Amino acid sequence: MGSVLEDDRTGRPLWGVNLATLTDALSGDALFATLRADAQEREADAETVRRAPLTRVRATGLLAKPWWLPVFQGLDPYGRAVEALRKVTLAPEAVEPFPYDWRLAVAYNGALLARRARAHLESWRERVAAVSGWRAAGGVRPRLVFVAHSMGGLVVRAALEQDVELAADTRAVVTVGTPFLGSAKSVLALNALHAEAEPGRLVRRVQAMAATLPGVHDLLPGYRCLDRGLEVERLTAGDVARFGGDRDLAARSLAERARHRGSGFVLPGHRAVVGEAQPTVQTLEEQHAGLSVVAGRHHAFDVGDDGELVRDPATGIPARRDASGDGTVHMPSARAGTEAVHYVFGQHGTLMSHDEVLRQIRRIALERPQGTDLGDGTGDGPGLETPHLGGTLGQPLILTVTGLDTPAGSSLSVRSATTGRPGHPLTPRRDPDRTDGALSARFTADAPDLYRVALNTGRHAPLTQLVLVTPPGA
């Protein structure tokens, strides 16, 4: 959801420009209604691009301001990542951002990306050939490097699957927090109305919008994620519809997941940057039979080489374990399809502004030796957990720190992400209500705003997350 969207006919901003879009009681309903996919947008696929791309909503650029959404939580802008790449290329024009209408199907956006990437590559090759110094320095014909965050990695995969010549002209694909196997959080977004007894206005808007969007359904988990006690099952289209999604969109997306499991397609030069140690929803458990309520669980299940669940030999119960992740995408999903994995302690929405991630992107772009990974992939490290539905003015926010043996040397701070007002220092303390040894701190905002929570351990790059605080009843 990191692309700015606007109404093509009126030029009215629809997404990613003004936080009032999320909180305003009068205009917000109309804007979210406009963002719902119409019948034509719901059906759009790669063939639509070849016939006539859709134009009702236009993607005008990458997110330039911090953003926030219930369940999906905070999202940092992409300016630092673009600038980091432009500093290591022959000219800034070698780097071309690709905004896209994330509401629509991955296959549709993949076809648009393939077209844009081919044009960009040909244009750059002509420019390099015209400059003798560049031609000599290059030594080989220029090729593409894709750097993609979250759903963007799925769009890159779709583009290269659809265009084998483009895949041959690609040197590397860097994915950051891409849910190759899907994300269980997408189901929680569709289920928000069922799960919350009195959902706020923003939650209602988001759920009503998400239920119409092919792009959200393309994030559905394709792995075994529905915990039924003695069995763990893959989602069906009927499950998704019962939990608040669209049956037809779910059927199409889950069929595509099944196709990928057997396709054998490998992204060229794929390197995955994977967030770890953050509390992450990995599987789902249906609650209150007949009420269609689903809860997220912070554990996953192993599958053996025979395709069967690994079970406790004594009880026969499927063995549960915390596979960790970046708060949105669990590690097995983000690293699927490659053994070239770089681990980082970081939250999903802020990974593309994370210093260690930017360093890896620069190194890969320059083809320098990769050295050691940023972590060991065990999930042992600092984690940050914030309220995934945001907060209400006057009510304390519970901020949780995981993975630390002691609060000594660690600090939490909260500051405005929109005005830069000075931060509020907090001291995390042992939480007596938690059995996992987590630390916590409370913060009560003095004004409605988008706040940046930062955890500094003194030993790792700071962890950050965004939290929206709205007025009572907003």
For residues 135, 138, 144, 147, the Cα torsion angle rounded to the nearest 10 degrees is -130
If you average pLDDT over each of 144-148, 258-262, 363-367, which comes out highest? Answer: 144-148
Q: What is the pLDDT of residue 144?
A: 95
359 contact partners, CB below 8 Å, separation of at least 6: none
Residue with tokens 């006539």: 52
Please check the confidence at residue 250 and state whether its pLDDT lies above 90. Answer: yes
- The pLDDT tens digits of the residues spanning 94-147 come to 999 999 999 999 999 999 999 999 999 999 999 888 887 776 665 567 899 999
Report long-range pairs for 249-252 (Cβ below 8 Å, ≥24 apart). Answer: 249/42, 249/213, 249/214, 249/217, 250/217, 250/220, 252/105, 252/214, 252/217
In the predicted model, is pLDDT for residue 378 greater than 60? no
Decide: 264 and 213 in contact? Cβ < 8 Å: no
End-to-end alpha-carbon separation of the chain, Å?
22
Q: What is the pLDDT of residue 451?
A: 93
Residue 49 has what DSSP assignment? H
**For the whole model, what pTM was predicted?**
0.88
The dihedral over CA atoms of 324, 325, 331, 335, expressed in degrees to the nearest 10, equals -160
* Nearest to 223, CA basis, from 261, 175, 270, 186: 261
**Tens-place pLDDT, residues 392-402:** 899 999 999 98
Residue 36 CA to residue 41 CA, distance in Å, equals 9
Say yes or no to pLDDT of 248 above 60: yes
Looking at the predicted structure, is the pLDDT value of residue 377 above 70?
no
Q: What is the pLDDT of residue 419?
A: 87
Helix (DSSP H) and strand (DSSP E) numbers for the chain? 17, 24
What mean pLDDT do residues 400-421 have?
85
Q: How much is the pLDDT for 426? A: 86
Mean pLDDT of the chain: 89
Class at the top of the CATH hierarchy for domain 384-470: mainly beta
pLDDT tens digits along 58-93:
999 999 999 998 888 999 999 999 999 999 888 999
| Domain locations in the chain as residue ranges | 1-381, 384-470
The answer to whether 273 and 377 are in contact (CB under 8 A) is: no
CA 461 – CA 360 distance, rounded (Å): 14
Percent of the chain with pLDDT over 70: 93
d(CA 464, CA 458): 14
- pLDDT category at 323 given cuts 50, 70, 90 is very high
Q: What is the pLDDT of residue 456?
A: 87
| Comparison of pLDDT for 274 and 403, the residue scoring more | 274
